[in-house]
Structure 1
């Protein structure tokens, strides 16, 4: 009752301030120990004050070896000149880094299915697997049926963990930077510039692979307006028949794909080493009690608790992906959450 009066009823202040208030009014032999323990186990303080999240699991890189082995999709949204939100479906090929951006009337599953089928599948071919977040549009029965009929597998990230779809997230930032850098007259009509911007991006050497995405996807360098203007010659001028051209292109493309895979692997290892230097926390064990970072509450985030109030229990783990299955203590429902969004709270009473 005493500690509740100097802590709970005094603004849930920290250990030092609470201890000062207690010492000004009371005394017993274990006052300091009891006060610090009470404050450290105060659930309201844990939910509202603990930085989110202190833990950082090691980075796990996705490896691909061929075009269209894995295609990542996500929505990117920005306002047009009339302050109206424009939904853009971003599609990236994980191996070649080829990126496409398509305006959509909305983010419904119907729009996603139509754009993927008409603008990507029927142009570039059907991928082995599609990867997205767990948005209702991407996880809908319509998308599932379309992919099943097409023989395309489906995977998704864990909730509120955008790094699970990192390549698309990075291109989203790049696309935003490219649009911001447009001259004012062009920026007004930025939705009409998407094809031009993505084409320019795909024709430029990617820092991860060392090759332009266009070349890795099609086996040749694109002809640009500047090439036509100055009569530049991208390929050698020898006249060859179709079969020799195919053989030559196949040989060059195999060599480029091998080097691109090596370069991508080196870059991924370099990025993982840098990221993993800052890893904190530890592996969770079965039976551990955990809180989930509060990412879903709407409204003013400055006033929201940093952690959800429900204490879950770890029931299984996937160490290779740094994900955990956790069970709700009342309903028994199970959800999969990335380690970066969990905080162990075995210390709570």
Structure 2
């Protein structure tokens, strides 16, 4: 049972971030997006498990790829793009090469979407480069710190290690 003070604290937190809290029924796909996704995933995983009982868990990445790559009717984008800022290249892309669809926008709205995607990709690339640079600097600092507190040991044949 949740104490009233915890409930009030969480309500204040949601209000501060502009989050509208909605309560939904458990296991009710019509009102809960998580349950809606589970309604899609459960039969697919069941098919994998039935057809490959000993290795279905090794196939999950293929299933995830199949779910992440088709264009969503509502958003007009793939879930992969919405999550990662880029569309993954699949086996078919490797066989036929890049599509020219992106190079020829047909409507003003489509051009705006393509421009937004281009800007998003550039921003993600920029952020990635900053993180990579920062990571390299931190890696050097961590190595220096490790080296300061570590002594190199000499081992001879027959020593217990």
Q: Could you tell me the TM-score, scaled by structure 1's length?
A: 0.22
Which of the two has higher C-alpha Rg? 1
Question: Which structure has greater strand proportion?
Answer: 1
Structure number with higher relative contact order (C-alpha < 8 Å, ≥ 6 residues apart): 1
Question: Which structure has greater helix proportion?
Answer: 2
Q: Could you tell me the TM-score, scaled by structure 2's length?
A: 0.41
